[in-house]
Amino acid sequence: MTTHVLSDTGALLGRSLKHVTRSVDTIVTTALTPIAMMLLFVYVFGGAIKASTGTASYVDYLLPGILLMAIASGVAYTALRLFNDLQSGLFERFGSMPIARAAVLWAHVLTSMAANAVTVVIIIAVGLAMGFRSSAGPLAWLAVAGILALFTLSLTWIAVVAGLAAKTVDGATGFSYPLIFLPFVSSAFVPTDTMPTPVRVFAEHQPVTSIVDTVSALLGEQPVATADLVAALAWCIGIGAIAYAAAIRLYRRKIR
């Protein structure tokens, strides 16, 4: 049974990846807005903001938040692809074939993971060209990759829920806007202690801040606060688990 699921997932993953590679503009578009934000904040606002961050290079401070913003933007395409497959009747055709049901959703999820990984690499490359430097060793980079992958996975399952539940194209992709906005009300652009008290309380207790702080510490080879690491993992795992359960329930209702 497990072999059957894996082989079916691999076949459907190949199909989804072909669609992505035929429209590379989706990956480029996903990366463009975060890159534009990074250019704007570093070269226009960076001089004024840098003093409040206490870092010699604002791009070093900014990059982790930009990566999370790019991932939040990128998962919207998963919801869109899933919505289009539903509207085209493709899922009904799959339902009449000897294909493991779980494979259909996991193919979309793994496609999102792969596409967002490429986007992250592109943004890091642009960051390096802008002066981003990290003293992190291989293990620290591996930990960063793991946290970003877990964050991508959790948001992708939210995208699956949106894609399955949506009635229109705008409804399928609209869920991503609040997620893209979250880094602005976090420690991604400025320290939270510079914010008014109500905003600071929200910023310090939402998922992005703990994830940004953990990634920043790893890239800067600084000690990672246990509270930040635990909170980052708890947010990602908790959100992913809830979204996964909701997605499976919706999928079973849609495809009987």
pLDDT of residue 4 exceeding 60, the answer is no
Helix spans in 44-137 (H):
46-53, 58-74, 76-87, 90-95, 101-129
Hey, what's the torsion of the CAs at 71, 75, 77, 80, to 10 degrees? -160
pTM of the model: 0.88
Stretch 31-52: mean pLDDT: 81
Asked if pLDDT for residue 28 goes beyond 50, the answer is: yes
164 or 53: whose pLDDT is higher?
164
DSSP 24: T
The residue type found at 116 is: N
CA atoms within 13 A of residue 136's CA, in its CB half-sphere: 22
> What residues contact residue 217 under an 8 Å CB cut-off, 6+ apart?
223, 224, 225, 228
pLDDT grade for 237, boundaries at 50, 70 and 90: very high
Distant-in-sequence, close-in-space partners of 41: CB < 8 Å, separation ≥ 6? 49, 58, 62, 189
Amino acid 139: pLDDT: 94
> Tens digit of pLDDT for each residue in 87-122?
776 666 665 555 656 677 888 888 889 889 989 999
**Of 17, 136, 142, the residue nearest 77 (C-alpha):** 17
State how far the Cα of 1 lies from the Cα of 161, in Å rounded to an integer: 25
Best CA proximity match to 69, nearest among 180, 184, 147: 180
Q: Indicate whether 172 pLDDT > 80.
A: yes
Residues 189-201: b if buried by 16+ CB within 10 A, e if exposed: bbebeebeeeebe
Structure confidence at residue 169 (pLDDT): 84
When pLDDT is cut at 50, 70 and 90, the band that residue 29 belongs to is confident
Mean pLDDT, range 163-188, rounded to an integer: 88
pLDDT at 135 over 60: yes
Structure confidence at residue 1 (pLDDT) = 43
Residue 2 confidence (pLDDT): 47
